Amino acid sequence: MSRTDPFAFKSRLIYCIIKIMAYVIAFAGKGGTGKTTIAALTIRYLIEKKKKAVLAVDADSNSCLNEALGVHVHSTIGKLREESLATVRSGAERPGGMSMEQLFDYQVQQSIIEAKGFDLMVMGRPEGPGCYCAANNIIRKYTDKLSEKYPYVVIDNEAGMEHLSRRTTHKVDLLLIISDPTQKGLQTAKRINNLVDELELEIERRELIVNRISDENFDRLKNVSAPLPFDKIFNVPEDENIFRLDLEGKPVFELPADSKSATAVFRILDSCRIS
């Protein structure tokens, strides 16, 4: 094959593009379903089973993914934005003559929390009561930008469906919708699924996980529930180890490998055939 063969060049270019595109896993569901716990276990799965770096994104203004992962947050996107605005308003000189955009980009890079096997970026609180737009746009921009540097990205979204309409979750390989074992939780999961279709979001695959329910009760729940638009529905059992760790103020990351919840989440992710 000639070194100047245009088809060979095109093949190499496509290969390079594919290589830099991260596999993105996002989470959705109503509050209190254990979404963050399963997100943390997913990060652990990717580190242990795939053995590649993970970018964890806490896109919830009520940040708590770091607690599940066992790391300390020293800065958030929301806080950085406030500090940047204060700098602009004060007229203070920016270091090195950097533009405001360059300074903010540098600050975001510095705010990323580095840990063993993963890095964490945290959205934090918005800039004003009830206003999430600016912080949300920033977290989306830098998630897209930084995802080129990581094989895997895991996004723990806020509860509800606003992140879908704001398109924080807009280019995703696997969307895991988490429900508790209630009809209300399942109806929320169904609405989330419908909203993905309505907004025509770029989501390759969607799965439903019912958390904190035994196999026996899971079968009962499926029998009494209205039809749900998912090919497969998974369940994660109640796990006393999680309750114990919460009680002791320890991260979910410290769950024993043979604990019921960790085993179930790993089995689910195996079946999802994450590339």
What does the domain layout of the chain look like in residue ranges?
22-271
34 sits in the region (left: phi over 0; alpha: psi -120 to 50; else beta) called left
The whole-number pLDDT of residue 212 equals 97
Q: How many whole angstroms separate alpha carbon 104 and alpha carbon 13?
A: 31
- Strand ranges inside 108-211, DSSP E: 113-115, 118-122, 152-157, 171-179, 202-211
The whole-number pLDDT of residue 232 equals 87
Q: Is the pLDDT of residue 13 over 70?
A: no
Distance of CA 244 to the CA centre of its chain: 25
The whole-number pLDDT of residue 102 equals 81
Q: Is the pLDDT of residue 6 over 50?
A: no
Q: What is the torsional sign of CA 24, 102, 63, 60?
A: negative
Phi, psi of 113 (to 5 degrees): -90, 120
DSSP SS3 for 175: strand
Question: How is residue 219 written in tokens?
Answer: 């079968």
Place of tokens 């390079």: 16
User: pLDDT tens digits, residue range 56-81?
Assistant: 999 887 789 999 999 999 888 878 87
Q: How many whole angstroms separate alpha carbon 24 and alpha carbon 274?
A: 10
On average, the pLDDT of the chain sits at 84
- Among 35-49, 131-145, 181-195, name the most confident range: 35-49
Counting every residue written for the chain, the total comes to: 275
Q: How many whole angstroms separate alpha carbon 106 and alpha carbon 129?
A: 27
Q: Is the pLDDT of residue 124 over 50?
A: yes
Residue type for 2, please? S
**CATH class of the structural domain 22-271:** alpha beta
The whole-number pLDDT of residue 119 equals 97
The whole-number pLDDT of residue 9 equals 33
Bridge partners of 172, per DSSP, are: 203
Question: How is residue 62 written in tokens?
Answer: 């009520």
Percent of the chain surpassing pLDDT 90: 55
Residue type for 259, please? S
Q: How many whole angstroms separate alpha carbon 144 and alpha carbon 201?
A: 15
Q: How many whole angstroms separate alpha carbon 33 and alpha carbon 46?
A: 22
Percent of the chain surpassing pLDDT 70: 84
pTM for this prediction: 0.86
Distance of CA 198 to the CA centre of its chain: 21
Q: Is the pLDDT of residue 164 over 50?
A: yes
User: pLDDT tens digits, residue range 234-264?
Assistant: 999 999 999 999 999 999 999 999 999 999 9
